[in-house]
Chain A
Amino acid sequence: MASLNVARIARGIAVAKPGGSTVLTHRRVYVLPTRHGWTFFAVLLAMLVGAVNYNNNLGYLLAFLLGSLGFVSMFHTYRNLAGLSLRLRPGAPAFAGNLAHFVLYLDNREQRERPDLCVSFRRHADDERRTAMVRVHVVRDELREVKLAVQATRRGRVRMGRITIATRYPIGLFRAWSCFESDAEVLVYPSSGGDREIPTHVPEQSTTGGPRARGADDFAGLRNYVLGDSSRRVHWKSAAREQDMMVKQFTGATPHEACLRWAETPQPETEARLSQLCRWVLEADAAGARFSLELPGQTIESGRGHQHVRRCLRALALHGDAGA
């Protein structure tokens, strides 16, 4: 039976419809004996030879019973996976160097539980060999969410890559598995970096008044750490209390209207420039300032707020990407 399934392996892997879910039908689930399975069958062969030699019929019975047990367990292993439906949803955008999150939905519409499902996935965007495994027990008629995190290395888009879902339930003589690939992708912003202060273009109208912008002079509070923040600004006390890393914010002479230009970044390389721009965007946002973003071939009008920041960061993330 196992050898029949070998042929299917070559046929490729399940690819989800865009945004849809994939049902692990019988064409997509493969079964092969595990190493322990092979050992088991070797022991059975030894038993059978002994039974033949001693002409011991109870020995025959035992060897055949255990052989049948192995055979039946193959169906059970297979059944533990078959019919499960999978869907992968991207999580919120991440910064390069941070973890990009995905949510895998395991939808068990059947009235039987599916214990010991091993979800293996690539946990590093660049390195196929670095994988992680999550063990899940899905009860009957359950929609189970499994959070998967991938180390994002570069800006752009990160895909989950291939997810392998495997099981050896119940007795570990066989392993059933299926591979699943989804087009779900998480947007990866550039890491914030660079050491140039935010360029100030103070418009003439606003000299005094308006909200005080945040800069480098007076302590104004804490915000969450973003990769690229200067280590001098980290609030170590809270870090020591095992809370999230916080960064101290200061108010000062930061302008409340800024124009962030590609041309003004000092670095020669594209990625470093984008990192610098990213940092400026975050700082300008933290300061509550209005800002515009000028990239080669793309300009984002001046604006403020969450939506605006996301638009700008997205532009940075996808800079130079033909599909953007």
Chain B
Amino acid sequence: MPDLETRDWKPTRERTLWLAASLALVLLPHAPRMPLWVSLGFVVLALWRIEHVTRGVRLPSRWTRVFLSAAIMAGILASYGTLFGRDAGIAALAVLSGMKLLETDTLRDAYATAFLGFFVIITNFLYSQSIATGLYMLLVVVVMTATLIVINSSQPGLGVRRRLRYAGTLIGQSLPFMLVLFVLFPRIPGPLWGLPKDAQSATTGLSDKMSPGNISQLGLSTAVAFRVEFDGPIPPVSRLYWRGPVFEDTDGRSWTARELQLNRRVPKLRGRNEPVYYTTTLEPHDRHWIFALDVPGTANNAIRISNDYQLLATKRVRQRAQFRLRSYLDARIPVITPEQRSASLALPNGFHPRARALAEEWRANAASVDGFVERALQHFRAEPFFYTLRPPRLIGDPVDEFLFQSRRGFCEYYAAAFTVLMRAGGVPARIVTGYQGGEINPLGDYLIVRQRDAHAWVEVWLEGRGWVRVDPTAAVSPQRIELGMDATLPARIGSAAFGFEPRGPIAKLMRGLNHGWDTVNNSWNQWVPGYGHIRQKGLLGRFGLDASDWRIFALCLSLALISMAWGAGLWLLRRAPISDPALEAYRRYCAKLSRLGIERRHAEGPSDFAERVSRTRPELAQYVRRVTELYIGIRYAKGPHAPLRDLRRAVGAFRP
């Protein structure tokens, strides 16, 4: 019998159009990422089908279709070099959904095509999990649901809007269930099995090699590197040095990091006082680096600390990740190993002769190591050095040319030159890269650190005090350290080109909007794409539940779902409210009589019914007559009639 109910299904024009349109909407965000022929292929196949149902254009024969499918696969192989992996797989799905649309002859085909569409939605999330993507896909789900209604129902004469409205109602009613499932569904840290190689695209960030020019590229990128929420007040901007890769080895031109020794425990620190606790949300950069405030004091299963006090995640940060960190702002690193000492004193032979000579002269004249360091800083302060993101190219010895000729550069230049000077004067020194400062979002009360906040500074070893941070860039351009990158740099390339300073009310407004948007974005990132094992544990913990016990999960989830299903059942299966209050009152009256065994017949009008009741049950005659009179008056009288209230009262006057 169930077969009989679907046997009369036909691939009508309306159904075809809905299917084609919803598939097109699903594939739209993929279009810029796919070769043009894939998008065109889908469009041609979809149009072919539409023309077939509209004008009876012939469909390709079975063999042609087989050939077409093979050609598509060959095309994918030619474009991507593989049939597997994320990008090639999605391109194949896109064209094949067009093929499937072409042969949608039965109800089963139609459902298969629609389900394929649902599946393609999820592939979009592999590229973006932004608010915009989320909202767009919600819209697409509504359209797809409307398509399911059109496929399934043969109810005639419904417009696009009514279909969409009903689909919207269905989705709207599904949202609470979705939320409960989302919050309570147990999250496991880490993937079930390996991810395809192209699951993450290359991302920008700091590099593990430093040579002039690298950081200037980051300097203007407003992309977010990470966001930080402090447990307490946000420390002053000038103290926010986010420690990243440390460079000790140099060949005279570029600087590279040494191999790191990783520790599970935090080595000892000198001068540690009250720690600063904070949560950092790192944008994916496909490296192990975690940028923590200098000096970091966290190590656990997920985080290791290196011998030069860098934090490193045990797994590459391929997705936005959250870390709970602790730092000691006043502490110093008290350790230097013999290897570190020799590495941080080494200078390549034959490089920087003038810088070396200068440093040796200063060292000879200085009474102490401190005086020598101060002398070097004084040099940057007194001489005409300029901070610029577009320094002239250095053709000869990069340090000598910078120190004695160009005198223009940004943090990397200063850090490299300063390190060379220190080493030449016999003081162990190394370059630390990372980020400096950040932008406080007053709305969300958190800090945004962007790629343009990338920075490089120097650490020198002072006997008895440990590694001391020296920022030679600060000697040149103090505001830069006080106020962050925005003060010294044109905020945007565009405004620099037009000579426009971002000040005044419009800039203020723009900044406010920017902060507002970033707050929304940040909350979204924290709670939607960033909702993972840790956050779930924290959330459940607030209700006193232990998220590591699966039984608690099972109990919560089933309790929540059962109670919601019960509520939904009650709500959905309630009688639809009657929009006609007079009729409602009249029905109450009928129901009362029905309790006495007097049923109104289907074809019986109110007057006839009243007459019959009066005849059979004379004691009810007065009541019946009164109600009927009022009801007929309200419903049918042309002139003035008694108010509805009277009818309600009349109906209520009698209790069987």
Contacts and interface: CB of A to CB of B under 8 A. Distances in A.
Pair from one complex? yes
Interface of A: 1, 26, 34-36, 39-40, 43, 46-47, 49-69, 71-73, 75-76, 78-79, 82-83, 107, 110-112, 115-116, 118, 120, 131-133, 135, 137, 140, 143, 164, 166, 168-173, 175
Interface stretch (B114-122, B207-215, B344-352): B114-122
B129 interface: yes
Contact of A47 (B122, B529, B602): B122
B352 to A, nearest CB: 48
Given A58-B137, A67-B181, A111-B578, A43 B115 contact: yes
A78 to B, nearest CB: 7
Nearest to B583: A141
Contacts of B576: 110-112, 140
Given A120-B5, A143-B602, 18 more contacts: A39-B112, A43-B115, A53-B193, A61-B178, A63-B122, A65-B174, A68-B176, A72-B170, A72-B177, A75-B573, A82-B573, A111-B579, A133-B7, A133-B8, A170-B148, A170-B166, A172-B152, A173-B148
B182 A60 contact: yes
B192 A49 contact: yes
B199 A54 contact: yes
Q: Which of B5, B126, B531 has the most CB of A within 10 A?
A: B5
A68, A79, A115 pick with most chain B CB within 10 angstroms: A68
Contacts of B145: 69, 171
A62 B126 CA distance: 13
A115 B565 contact: no
Contacts of B528: 57-58, 61
B323 to A, nearest CB: 16
23 contacts: A35-B108, A39-B112, A43-B115, A53-B193, A55-B191, A57-B129, A58-B129, A64-B182, A65-B138, A65-B175, A68-B175, A68-B177, A75-B573, A110-B576, A115-B153, A115-B155, A120-B4, A131-B1, A133-B8, A164-B1, A169-B155, A172-B151, A172-B152
A131 B192 contact: no
B343 interface: no
Contacts of A54: 126, 191, 195, 199
Interface in B226-265: none
B192 A1 contact: no
Contacts of B181: 64, 67-68
Contacts of B118: 43, 47, 66
A132 B134 CA distance: 46
B173 interface: yes
Chain B CB count within 10 A is highest, among A51, A59, A69, A120, for A69
Contacts of A39: 111-112, 115
Interface string B174-188: 111110011001011
Given A56-B125, A66-B118, A66-B141, A110 B575 contact: yes
A264 to B, nearest CB: 47
Interface of B: 1-2, 4-8, 107-108, 111-112, 115, 118-119, 121-122, 125-126, 129, 133-134, 137-138, 141, 145, 148-149, 151-156, 166, 170-171, 173-178, 181-182, 185, 187-188, 190-193, 195, 199, 319, 528-532, 565, 568-569, 572-573, 575-579, 602
B115 A71 contact: no
A54 B125 CA distance: 10
A206 to B, nearest CB: 47
A131 B4 contact: yes
A71 B177 CA distance: 9
Nearest to B575: A110
Contacts of A137: 155-156
A168 B5 CA distance: 9
Nearest to B140: A62
B378 to A, nearest CB: 52
Contacts of B112: 39
B152 to A, nearest CB: 3
Given A63-B122, A170-B149, A170-B166, A72 B8 contact: no
B564 to A, nearest CB: 9
Given A166-B2, A171-B152, A62 B575 contact: no
Nearest to A73: B170
